Structure 1
Amino acid sequence: MENIQNTQNISICENGLYLDIEITESKDVRLLHFSPFPLKIQELGTEEARRRFRIVEIQTTGEDQDDHHGSKYTGTLPGNRLKYMSHNDLRNEQGRKLEIAMKDEGILVTVHYQFYNDIPVIRAWTEITNVSDSSVGLEYVSSFALTGIAKEGSNSWEAKSRLHVSDNTWHGEMKWRSNTLPELGLTRANDSSLKRLSYSTSGTWSSEGLVPMGCFENIERDTCLFWQIEHNGSWHWEISDVANHLYLQLSGPTENENHWWKSVAPGETFLSVPVAVGIVAGQFEQAIGELTRYRREIRRPNQDNEWLPVIFNDYMNCLFANPTTEKILPLVDAAAEAGCEYYCIDAGWYADGEWWDEVGLWLPSQVRFPGGLKEVTEYIRSKGMIPGLWLELEVMGVNCPLADKVSDEWFFMRHGKRVIDHGRYQLDYRNPEVLKHADEVIDRLILEYKVGYIKMDYNINAGIGTEVGADSFGDGLLQHNRAYLQWLDSVFGRYPDLVIENCASGGMRLDYALLSRHSIQSSSDQTDYRKYAPIVASAPTAITPEQCAVWSYPLRDCTEEEVIFNLVNCMLMRVHQSGHLAEISSERFALIREGLNYYKSIRQDIAGGLPFWPLGLPSYGDSWICLGLRCGQKAYLAVWRLESEQDTIKLPIHFLAGQDASVLCGYPQRQDCDWHWNPEGGALTVTLPSMNCARLFELQ
């Protein structure tokens, strides 16, 4: 940056990241560069262009927006008036930490960048303190803002840019799409257009519609900028152009998109939602690898993600939320014989019959369990497994006996009425009585029934928020989101070995606010094992493999290939075994036992593996799908042949090119498929015997 005159500079090279901040004589603060390569001054353009490289954007009520912006968050005020005060460059346990303090009349703003040792990712957030004598209304606060994301290279940003976004829906999670910006409708109309690419989710399902992450690829310079928003509620991010440059801005909830508005009182401080941002010299696969390493770094230390125990859950293609002692005991015997280490009783254990809109007391049904629920949990323990139970502790059914006995302040309220979704009220975790109720349920299940696993489900979306004790609906939601995380922290503080699965109708809350705490995440409620394969193969983009629970649920009258396919689905992640194991044929049961034994022999590798995709990320309708994990000197490869007339596929394994690698079929261990390794081309050719079959290979 030596060619920029009359400025102060903050230039950092850390963990392969080059970060350059310009502070002008007038104390304007600009984030000029975030890249795996050193800054080239000529790529920035004119002083007028550099002025648009804002380090933060903040819009407050009653202020103008100093830009012809449309719906974009550019030219915000007081964001564009902030002046440099000081900065702090320090080290902590995670790595380097950079804090840049700025001020405008009445507010102090600090931008935080936390680096992580040896990982090209930062966590970023914004801190705003009101030092005036009157309240300040916040409408938008960026957690991370970067202009010039496509400045490197000679081609136009239309020609060299690709955006990767993951759509997310019930039974169809983590469906990635990749587009050029013109394909999405963004082209250079002027030096700054009014069009933006806007991505948001509102409500208590953080990944309904979209996973809160993305990736921007500069195909000319072969770089990938990637990010995730670490929040369990509403969020927003956008990409557009300003001063002939592209920008990226990430935030939590906003007023325009998410009904969030916050009044910051004199002396009060507001913290934005944290986000993670990284960039690599490489492609999407390398970006996900670094994001996987970062996710492991920020996660709560726990034995579950080291041991990867096998879980049996009696819901999917099995009891389907209709458990009884009579039905469970044979399944416990079969699960133990198969090699499972946890047995989770899924929904229905707390009600005599239909239960959907009556949940909330969480007391076991005496009709379902004539000898008591403890008889069943003790039987599970007697078979060498740890018992688990299903809960949905953030809601209360509209017909729950408790619902009419407690005040409205227990629940989300809008326009003076309780919020109802799908027969349930949303509990407000800011309320001390709600916390007391939740703690009593958790303590009772653990202390009385010796439960060591909880499947924490969440099957509603309570919408934009609550008006109780809040400046806006979205403010109430954000407060609740943070209160729920604090409650989770308190539970793990009391019971550090408790395993709590994060589930929201499968994968409707795939965010690393929750996943930095939970050790395991439901990937989907998909009931068809064949449709599950593309979900599984995409899952490591959003979840570390050792946190990703995948169902294996062969039917009673299944074929052998169905059993194998089900096991291969979950082999490189976390096994959620289900199905009527007590009624399946002995031959099929032997295949399940073989698969679980094999999984136990490789699971210590999975806990540190990094994903790769020889055929690229899957799409629905693909005839062949492949997912690999690189685990030190060894690699594992799951291969699925779906509706393909071709029985053979060539799989490029570039990192083994030139090596005389050994290959074996790890599961099933029988000679009914063929393979050939070509070291010169670095490719594995695989032949599978029929449509809708799968195999797992080892390479080293």
Structure 2
Amino acid sequence: MTLTDDDAERSEFEWARPGLHLRFAHGDGPVRLVRLATGPEGPSAAAPCPIVELHAGGRARENNTQIYVRSAIGVRLRYAGHESVGDDLRIHQVEEATGIEVVSVLRAAGPGLQITQTVRNGGDRDLVLTMVTSAVFSVAGTGYDVLWGRAEWLGEGRWEQRPLAELLPDLSFGRYGFVGRGHFPVTSHGSWSSGEVLPTGVLASEAGPSVAWQVETSAGWHWELSRDAGTVTVGVLGPTDLEHQFAERLAPGREFTSVPAGVVVADGGRDATFAALTEYRRAIRVPRAAHESYPVVYNDYMNTLMGDPSTEKLLPLIASAAAAGAEYFCIDAGWFGSPEEGWWDRPGEWREGPGRFTGGLRSVMDAIRGAGMRPGLWLEPEAVGRKSPVAEKLPDEAFFCRFGERVLEGNHYQLDLRHPAARAHLDEAVDRLVEEFGVAFFKLDYNSNVGAGTDVDAEAPGAGLLGHTRGLRDWLLAVQERHPDLLLESCSSGGMRMDYHLLSAVHLQSTSDQQDYRRYPVVAATAPASVLPEQAGNWAYPDTSMTPEETAFAMASGVMGRMYLSGFLHDLGEEQSALVHEAVALHRERRGDIAASVPVWPLGLPGWDDDVVALLLDAEPGGLLAVWSRGDAAELALPDLAGRAVRQVYPADLPAWTVRDRDGVPVIDVPPGLRARIFEVAPR
């Protein structure tokens, strides 16, 4: 059937869920998203745009461009039906000449959408996919601010906010009838999904709807902005051929599903958009009863034992952590290596190190339980050290390989969880540790970027990496099915793999390995832009060298998220100990509110060297506002909190900061030096 232009104009359908209203058009072209709004009456963020693009074999772009739009297959897709089932909208398209079929699945989750594309080879010859967009949409207008984040080891969450026109200037496309060729790309490299940049972006506008997106994969990803006359197009992608050495071969009848993309629209600017993204993230998490109490974890690594635990060193830490109010105690790296040989190049077997613990590891675990806490251990499940016996026991096919050789990075081999032997090895280790030692918490680390991936049983390395990371998530979920009371933390040299492919399946995320307490406030304050506040494992590690003011400064970072306690607590003086105990008690009292909060940045997302850093975790009936001072005295006016009461709640025994009222606007007098205070923000 051939549709006329008039038919195309009439060929539309709508789909709505609470907080979402979408409209699609189809006819003589591919299905296009023409409305994206929070409701049927409000303004739309969308300009007409096809909902999927894909490259296959030698068929890439229809036009001379470097943007992932107007693909040769994408422009030839035609509508073949749609259905709405529960919270899912499924849109079917087909390219009749080749039989390529695409099903776009839009799943409502909170105020947002989780979008995937499933490509099926309906033809009679192999199809090699080299790119599939997870989501693509256009927004009307160009008066937006772009927000994106940089990251690296010890420097996670360095967000930038710039006018779109600075990144994509007006090049007179409309005047001459040209289409754009340039873009603003943000791209991951290797197996650290957030090792350089963050998989989240925002187009923020105070004058109309704003949008945000995130790529939900631990493999390669790419998002980009491109500009035409009067519109901006957002492309959200998993691994691609150009950026990540990705290709997937589909025999006739086989299919491939893209990585998920999360998309939200909000009526408001930056903070309203991140609030919507926060609620979306809560909606896509796999619910686990063990997580919902948000327990305080003490970990012996950061600024403490640094991978050299022993019975003698641990016992005083166990007693002081319990006295401070910790509910879990995690023995970090080193427990499996002997004191003489060390541990870095020996992970993989996951048995206690000989000569490490007087009376054995079991006696230490018993001491943790005897102190009223639950025991935890550090694992790096995907790593097998070069000197580990496991390196010889498992076949080469159970590891990442390139060009016929095992990948060795930092003296670690990388397990491939597509392989049954690799998965069976990890299942045996975890089940044994839970049964033998009563482990209730695993800190799961990942300390190596192993590059593009593996070419074992894969068309290209990027596809091997994607398959492994999908196997990793499946393994994590299966572990929790067998052990429903087990808590799991995702740590990747701090926050080097901070994505919602993993974070939707685990309980908390270590936000950094940063050991300088003076720098941690920026990490803690920006973490809720990437991870739920109740999952943001912010380290709090007081030290005997700190003054009382510096101790409160360090502890404030832990309060404003998911407290991750560390440090030689038993060596602290009476005043310092009181500040630690008070902070833990405040966090435990307010953690339910934190788990229902949304982030607000009264001073904007902080720069790495800002003198004053502020984060509000806002919830009903009231929120917590942390303010850290790292420089000169300042006057902090809070117009967004006009009409609300601001009252200091931590610390109780250090001088209170002055909070004044200026025509209904709270004003805080911030003193100079390393100091921090936490305030309760009461309802209007």
TM-score surpassing 0.5? yes
Q: Provide the C-alpha distance between the structure 1 equivalents of 2:460 and 2:676, rounded to a whole number of angstroms.
A: 51
Question: Residue 528 of structure 2 contacts residue 599 of structure 2 at CA under 8 Å; is this kept in 1?
Answer: yes
Number of paired residues? 671
CA contact (8 A) 2:90 2:103 kept: no
- Please, which moves more after superposition, 566-575 or 176-185? 176-185
**For residue 208 of structure 1, what is the amino acid of its counterpart?**
G
Q: In structure 2, how many angstroms separate the alpha carbons of the residues matched to 1:501 and 1:336?
A: 20
The answer as to whether partners of 2:45 and 2:211 remain within 8 angstroms in 1 is no
Seen in structure 2, the aligned counterparts of structure 1 residues 8 and 462 have a Cα distance that, compared at 3 Å, is same
Superposed counterparts of 1:667-686, under 5 Å? 667-670=650-653, 672-678=655-661, 680-686=663-669
Residue type of the alignment partner of 2:679? F
**Residue aligning to 1:79:** 74
Which of 140, 156, 175 is equivalent to 1:150? Answer: 140
Query: Which residue of the partner structure matches residue 10 of structure 1?
Result: 13
Contact kept, 8 Å, 1:556 with 1:579, in 2: the verdict is no
Shift of 1:238: 1.2
Equivalent position of 1:134 in the other structure: 125
Tell me how far apart the structure 1 counterparts of residues 310 and 208 of structure 2 sit (CA, whole Å): 57
Q: 1:490 aligns with which of 461, 478, 499?
A: 478
* Cα shift readout 1:67-119 (whole Å, capped 9, x = no counterpart): 121x212221211101111111232xxx3534344343221111111113xx4
Aligned to 1:565: 553
- Say whether residues 1:626 and 2:618 are aligned partners: no
CA offset at residue 597 of structure 1?
1.7
Does the 8 Å contact 2:35/2:44 carry over to 1? no
- Residues of 2 paired with 1:522 and 1:693: CA distance? 24
2:239 is aligned with 1:253: yes
C-alpha separation in 2, matches of 1:136 and 1:165: 35
Looking at structure 1, the residues matched to 316 and 564 of structure 2 have their Cα atoms a distance apart, in angstroms, of: 18
Q: Which of 193, 197, 202 is the aligned partner of 2:189?
A: 202
Q: Displacement of 1:525 after TM fit?
A: 0.4
Contact residue 658 and residue 680 of structure 1 kept, 8 A: no
Give the conservation status (yes or no) of the 8 Å contact 2:45–2:140: no
- Please give the residue correspondences for 1:405-484 in structure 2 after superposition, counting only pairs within 5 Å: 405-484=393-472
8 Å CA contact 2:44–2:209 kept in 1: the answer is no
Q: Counterparts in 2 of 1:58-137, with a 5 A limit?
A: 58-63=54-59, 65-69=61-65, 71-91=66-86, 95=87, 97-104=89-96, 105-116=98-109, 119-137=110-128
Long gaps (5+) in structure 2: none
Residue pair 1:60, 1:77 contacting (<8 A) in 2 also: no
Q: Note if contact 2:524-2:560 (Cα within 8 Å) is conserved in structure 1.
A: no
Give 1:4 shift: 8.6
1:518 to 506, 528, 546: 506
Secondary structure, aligned partner of 1:637: strand
Quick one: distance in 1 between partners of 2:382 and 2:180? 43
Structure 1: gaps of 5 or more residues: 152-156
SS in 2 for 1:530: coil
**TM-score where L is the length of structure 2:** 0.94
In 1, Cα distance between the equivalents of 2:650 and 2:488?
29
Letter of the structure 2 residue corresponding to residue 97 of structure 1:
L
The 3-state SS of whatever aligns with 1:84 is: strand
Deviation of the 1:339 alpha carbon: 1.3
Deviation at 1:615, TM superposition (A): 1.1
Q: Tell me, yes or no, if the aligned pair for 2:88 and 2:105 is still in contact at 8 Å.
A: no
**CA–CA separation in structure 2 for the residues paired with 1:468 and 1:615:** 49
Over residues 663-691 of structure 1, what are the superposed CA-to-partner deviations in whole Å (9 max), with x where a residue is unaligned?
Answer: 43211112612322427332232344x40
Does structure 1 residue 265 correspond to structure 2 residue 263? no
Mark the CA change 1:547 to 1:673 in structure 2 (over 3 Å): closer, same or farther: same
CA distance in 2, matches of 1:133, 1:419: 36
| Residue 371 of structure 1, CA deviation | 1.1
- Whichever residue aligns with residue 59 of structure 1, its letter is H
- State the secondary structure of the residue aligned to 2:436: helix
Distance 1:612 1:330, change over 3 A: same
**Partners of 1:374 and 1:532 in 2: CA distance:** 34
**Deviation at residue 366 of structure 1 after TM alignment:** 2.6
Give a deviation string over 1:392-451, Cα, whole Å, max 9, x none: 110111121221333211211111111111111111001111111100110111000001
Residue 485 of structure 1 aligns to a residue whose secondary structure is helix
Q: 1:309 to 1:373 in 2, by over 3 A?
A: same
State yes or no: 1:33 paired with 2:35: yes
Within 2, Cα distance between the matches of 1:569 and 1:430? Answer: 38
CA distance in 2, matches of 1:685, 1:40: 36
- Cα distance in 1 for residues equivalent to 2:517 and 2:45: 50
Equivalent of residue 298 in structure 1, options 279, 284, 302:
284
1:243/1:561 CA distance change after superposition, 3 Å: closer
Give me the whole-angstrom Cα distance separating, in 2, the residues matched to 1:17 and 1:327.
Answer: 55
- Whether the 8 Å contact between 2:394 and 2:422 is mirrored in structure 1 is no
Q: 1:330 to 1:75 in 2, by over 3 A?
A: same
**Contact in 2 for aligned 1:186/1:196 (Cα 8 Å):** no
The structural deviation recorded for 1:3 is 9.7
**Which of 185, 210, 216 is the aligned partner of 1:230?**
216
Tell me the secondary structure at the aligned position of residue 521 of structure 1: strand
Whole-angstrom CA distance in 2 between matches of 1:260 and 1:578: 41
Q: How does 1:592-611 map to 2 (within 5 A)?
A: 592-611=580-599
Match of 2:270 among 272, 281, 284: 284
Q: Structure 2 vs 1, CA of residues 692 and 382 (structure 1 numbering), >3 Å: closer, same or farther?
A: same
Aligned to 2:675: 693
* TM, length-normalised to structure 1: 0.92
Select 1:212's aligned residue among 166, 185, 199: 199
Contact kept? 2:303, 2:515, Cα under 8 Å: yes
* Aligned AA (2:557): N
Kept after mapping to 2: 8 A contact 1:459/1:505: yes
Aligned AA (1:632):
E
What is aligned with 2:493? 505
Whether contact under 8 Å (1:33, 1:39) holds in the other structure is: no
Q: Which amino acid aligns with 1:108?
A: E
1:182 and 2:165 matched: yes
Q: Is residue 576 of structure 1 aligned with residue 564 of structure 2?
A: yes
Query: d(CA) in 2 for partners of 1:303 and 1:677?
Result: 42
The 2-side partners of 1:312 and 1:64 are apart by 51
| Aligned residue identity for 1:329 | L
Q: Which moved more, 1:482-491 or 1:672-681?
A: 672-681
For 2:502, what is the secondary structure of its paired residue? coil
Aligned mates of 2:401, 2:44 — CA distance in 1: 54
The answer on whether the counterparts of 1:166 and 1:211 sit within 8 Å (CA) in structure 2 is yes
Write the letter of the residue equivalent to 2:77: L
Identity %: 36
Distance 1:41 1:313, change over 3 A: closer
For residues 312-365 of structure 1, the C-alpha deviation after alignment (integer angstroms, 9 at most, x for no partner) is 111111111100011101111111111111110010000113221121111101
> Partners in 1 of 2:203 and 2:401 — Cα distance?
39
- 1:154 aligned residue: none
User: Secondary structure, in 3 states, of the residue corresponding to 1:685?
Assistant: strand
Deviations 1:625-648 (A, max 9, x none): 11111120212110111122x1x4
Retained in 2: the 8 A contact 1:186–1:197?
Answer: no
Q: How does 1:541-560 map to 2 (within 5 A)?
A: 541-560=529-548
User: In the alignment, what sits opposite 1:173?
Assistant: 156
Report the AA paired with residue 82 of structure 1: L
Question: What is residue 50 of structure 2 aligned with on the other side?
Answer: 54
- How far apart in 1 are the matches of 2:30 and 2:488? 47
Pairwise CA distance, 1:21: 1.1
Moved more, 11-20 or 56-65: 11-20
State how far apart, in whole Å, the 1-side matches of 2:324 and 2:44 are: 64
Q: Deviations over 1:29-66 (max 9, x none)?
A: 22223234769999999xxxx6xx22211111132532
Tell me the distance in 2 between the aligned counterparts of 1:567 and 1:244: 48
Counterpart-to-counterpart distance in 1, 2:450 and 2:493: 14
Cα separation, 1, equivalents of 2:370 and 2:92: 58
User: 1:302 offset after TM fit, Å?
Assistant: 2.3
| Whole-angstrom distance in 2 between the partners of 1:317 and 1:44 | 49
